[in-house]
């Protein structure tokens, strides 16, 4: 099941949101006042000023805005990714769905999917530099197998808003209305986002070269 990469509130504030692998998510497009169904999912960290309405009160998500704390949280996130790879390797699994299926059959505890949201990617990278960007690229590259992925938002799909190194790791993309066909192509590698109306978005998996799908939120 495919879904969106960011909160409804964040998407209404931004022209372009990009995520990585979404096929595990039961994270449907709803109004900001509703609570998504997040069974077996931990939100973990929201790198931004305020939590979206549906995440307020959740004990598994923390909003952080100080650069040093964001960097520290990402380091911890990557360390947990590496720990998971060791655990899955010992169990003879190479991805989280397979590991959890085997764990359920054996009566072991399951590992939840976890997310690291970055509300303003260009601003965060400008404050934290290339070391942070390199670690973020690592988290995006290897997070799919272990069920821990960063989700990023930007208002500018050009290289200065979404660095090419990270963009190469972002297969699933969600885009709101943009000013031009050029912006649509930069975000989705397809035209169409420039024609969207209020309350519409385009979703496309660029790795599998799927057609862009128009959705309402």
- Residue positions counted in the chain: 217
pTM of the model: 0.74
pLDDT at 32 over 50: no
Q: Which positions ≥6 away from 172 have C-beta within 8 Å?
A: 2, 5, 18, 19, 20, 21, 22, 23, 203, 204, 205
* Cα–Cα dist 176/15, whole Å: 5
The answer, yes or no, to whether residue 2 has pLDDT greater than 60, is no
Rounded Cα distance between 1 and 27, Å, is 9
Question: Tokens 């530099």 appear where?
Answer: 129
Q: Which two tokens stand for residue 194?
A: 């420039």
Chain segment 160-192, per-residue pLDDT in tens: 778 888 888 888 888 989 999 999 998 888 999
What value does the mean pLDDT take over residues 82-105? Answer: 93
Answer yes or no: is pLDDT of 144 > 50. yes
Beta-bridge partners for 115: 149
Residues 6+ apart with CB under 8 A from 42: 60, 61, 112, 113, 114, 115
């Amino acid at each position: 099941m495919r879904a969106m990469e960011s909160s409804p509130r964040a998407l209404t504030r931004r022209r372009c949101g990009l995520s990585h692998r979404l096929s595990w998510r039961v994270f449907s497009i709803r109004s900001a006042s509703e609570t998504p169904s997040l069974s077996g999912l931990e939100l973990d960290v929201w790198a931004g000023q305020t939590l979206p309405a549906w995440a307020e009160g959740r004990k598994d998500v923390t909003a952080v805005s100080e650069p040093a704390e964001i960097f520290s949280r990402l380091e911890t996130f990557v360390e947990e990714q590496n720990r998971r790879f060791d655990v899955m390797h010992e169990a003879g699994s190479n991805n989280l769905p397979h590991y959890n299926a085997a764990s359920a059959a054996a009566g072991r505890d399951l590992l939840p999917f976890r997310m690291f949201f970055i509300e303003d990617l260009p601003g965060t990278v400008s404050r934290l530099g290339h070391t942070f960007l390199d670690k973020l690229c690592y988290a995006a590259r290897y997070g799919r197998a272990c069920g821990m992925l960063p989700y990023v938002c930007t208002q500018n799909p050009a290289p200065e808003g979404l660095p090419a190194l990270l963009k190469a790791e972002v297969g699933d993309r969600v885009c709101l209305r943009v000013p031009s066909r050029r912006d649509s192509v930069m975000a989705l590698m397809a035209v169409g986002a420039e024609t969207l109306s209020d309350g519409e978005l385009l979703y496309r998996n660029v790795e599998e070269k799927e057609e862009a799908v128009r959705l309402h939120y």
